Structure 1
Amino acid sequence: MPSARTHDLITVVSGIALTPVVYHACLEYAQFSPPTALACSLWFGGAHLVSGIMFSPDLDIDSAIDNRWGIFFWIWRPYMWLIPHRAFWSHSLIISPLLRLGYFAAVVYGLLLGIGWCLGQLGFAPPAYHRELATQVNVLIETYPRETWAFIIGFCTGSAAHTIADWLVTKGNWLLGGYGRRLRRRYRNHDQWLPRRERLRQ
């Protein structure tokens, strides 16, 4: 499969190419006002980049992607254990990015709930942070529905750029194999990563 750097380049280039297309579509077909069209295109482009770079389909393995989360890499360990690599749940065009987004939201919600509970056990009376988060997200969605849809679509396209690139390499290798050829590079170590326990030994 393409390397992590190649996937990043594909994400950035496709985001740059698609963002003005979204702006034009919002103006010409959706009949949005110029400020709304600009906001939607920027939300789309930002979500596309965040999805492809930070919420990549390769979060289903110990890879270069989860390293980008730094000390918060552990957030993705349960996801990694539950989701088989390159399965439908990690590399589909729509379901998998929405699953990762929902998983991340659930983790943040759970952490806020746990922090509130711990503070309560210590005798403090903290605000219900988890409820405030849910309320703010609902208000944001209700206030900016068009921008919300632009974000969701961009989040899906950012992941799709990765998945489609994987498909093309796999299909290309299969087609060349039918003619007695093989790609020189097998992409076995496509993220140039080592498991965390091996990196710590170095």
Structure 2
Amino acid sequence: MPGARVHDLITVSTLAAFDVLYVAKVHPASLVPLCCFSGAYLFAGLACAGDLDTNSREYRRWGPLRFIWWPYRVLVPHRSWVSHGLIVGGIIRALYLGVMFFLLSWVGVWLWNQCGMHVDPASVTQMEAHSLGQIMRTHPRESLAFLVGFVLAGTAHSLADIVSTGLKRWL
């Protein structure tokens, strides 16, 4: 299995290759989906890759927010289909991150309420879901580009592990 530096190099180099292919094949005036794809790919490749279930560089990059990955680390066996599934791994991490975002917003609402500022948790959740849905309806190409970038970065990570392990076994 490649080390963290190799995974980072794979992330950056494959992103550069995807970006060059996109600019060559699609009209360069449509760069917003490319930026959404590239941002998601870089974020997922450097901070949300398949090794979040271990004390990896990706995990440590979360700094004080790494606690949000603790349930993932406990529940997901390393190199399982959940963490290293070619397509499914990235989708699961994207969904997990979304759920954690909603849970953290509920904690924030609870803290506001403890400070005497009354906020209705249901209205906050409804507003978040409405806002996310509105963004996805208003910007479908950009939303799809973001999701594809996020998932492909995890796929690149898993493929690197599969190829590396296969070569080690073959040699």
* TM surpasses 0.5: yes
User: TM-score, normalised on structure 2?
Assistant: 0.91
Q: Which residue in the other structure is 1:183 paired with? A: none
Q: Which residue in the other structure is 1:54 paired with? A: 47
Q: Which residue in the other structure is 1:166 paired with? A: 161
Over the residues paired in the alignment, what is the CA RMSD in angstroms?
Answer: 1.6
Q: Which residue in the other structure is 1:141 paired with? A: 136
Per-residue Cα deviation, 1:78-137 (whole angstroms, up to 9, x for no partner): 000000000000001111111111111111101111222343355322364333222211
Amino acid at match of 1:156: V
Of 108, 123, 128, 2:116 maps to: 123
Specify every segment of 5 or more residues in structure 2 that has no aligned partner in the other structure, as ranges. Answer: none
Per-residue Cα deviation, 1:163-187 (whole angstroms, up to 9, x for no partner): 11111111101111xxxxxxxxxxx
* Other structure's SS at 1:84 match: coil
1:2 counterpart = 2:22: no
* Rg larger in structure: 1
Q: Which residue in the other structure is 1:184 paired with? A: none
Rounded to whole Å, the distance in 1 between the matches of 2:35 and 2:111 is 39
1:1-202 mapped onto 2 (5 Å cutoff): 1-27=1-27, 34-35=28-29, 37-126=30-119, 128-176=123-171
Amino acid at match of 2:8: D
Rounded to whole Å, the distance in 1 between the matches of 2:163 and 2:19 is 23
Aligned length: 169
Q: CA separation of 1:142/1:86 partners in 2, compared to 1, >3 Å: closer, same or farther?
A: same
What percentage of aligned pairs have identical amino acids?
34
Rounded to whole Å, the distance in 1 between the matches of 2:18 and 2:114 is 50
User: TM-score, normalised on structure 1?
Assistant: 0.78
Q: Say which structure is richer in helix.
A: 2
Specify every segment of 5 or more residues in structure 1 that has no aligned partner in the other structure, as ranges. Answer: 28-33, 177-202
